[in-house]
Structure 1
Amino acid sequence: MKKVEAIIQQEKLEELKVKMDNSFEAMGMTVTQVLGFGNQKGLKEYVRGQEIITTLLPKVKVSFVVLDEKVEEVISLIMAICQTGEVGDGKIFVYHVEEAIRIRTGERGAKAI
């Protein structure tokens, strides 16, 4: 099993959620509001004539635990929805998951996800 974690632009979340739900039956998703910076280096705004530079930008982190054979399919779907070609599109990370346990039933492994 693998954990696929993507940090994406907030406006892409709803479309990603709908496509993931339609493409992968019974797949769970965890969503976290995060702040961060990278190559984008923040935004310059003017408030009442004062220049304000925001270095930490709001993003969304979405996480999926999937079977090994579904990883590339999940990555491709995230890329298709979230890639604009502009700085700030986000990042995808893939981690190995040793075990998954459903607390309610005690199921383990693939049955738990």
Structure 2
Amino acid sequence: MPLPDNSVDTVFLNAVLEHLTNPYIVLKECKRILKENGRVVMTTPTRAAKPVLEFMAFKLHIINEDEILEHQHYYNKKDVIKLASDLGFKLEKYSFFELFMNSLIVYRK
């Protein structure tokens, strides 16, 4: 990202994490541009969402099949904690919405 180090208060990744082959690359870059105590706020579908999304895409054809095929990973809380730990973030919040099909994740630098 063409932004200076320590220049951003908050980074939002809305439904991005599940599409990344290597989330470490993007999250490391987020950490680089974040100011001290800055936050990464993310949403991502949970593992419980996978069969529902696939059914809606491939059987009912009511959501875009290509977008579901792009999903690289469905994250649970353990995965989110490991990412935070590996990258030196503090997990500030982990919660569910949409009937446990999506999670809200907040990391703090």
The structure where helix makes up a greater share of residues is 2
Q: Which has the higher contact order (CA 8 A, sep 6+)?
A: 1
The structure where strand makes up a greater share of residues is 1
Q: TM-score, normalised by structure 1?
A: 0.32
Q: TM-score, normalised by structure 2?
A: 0.33
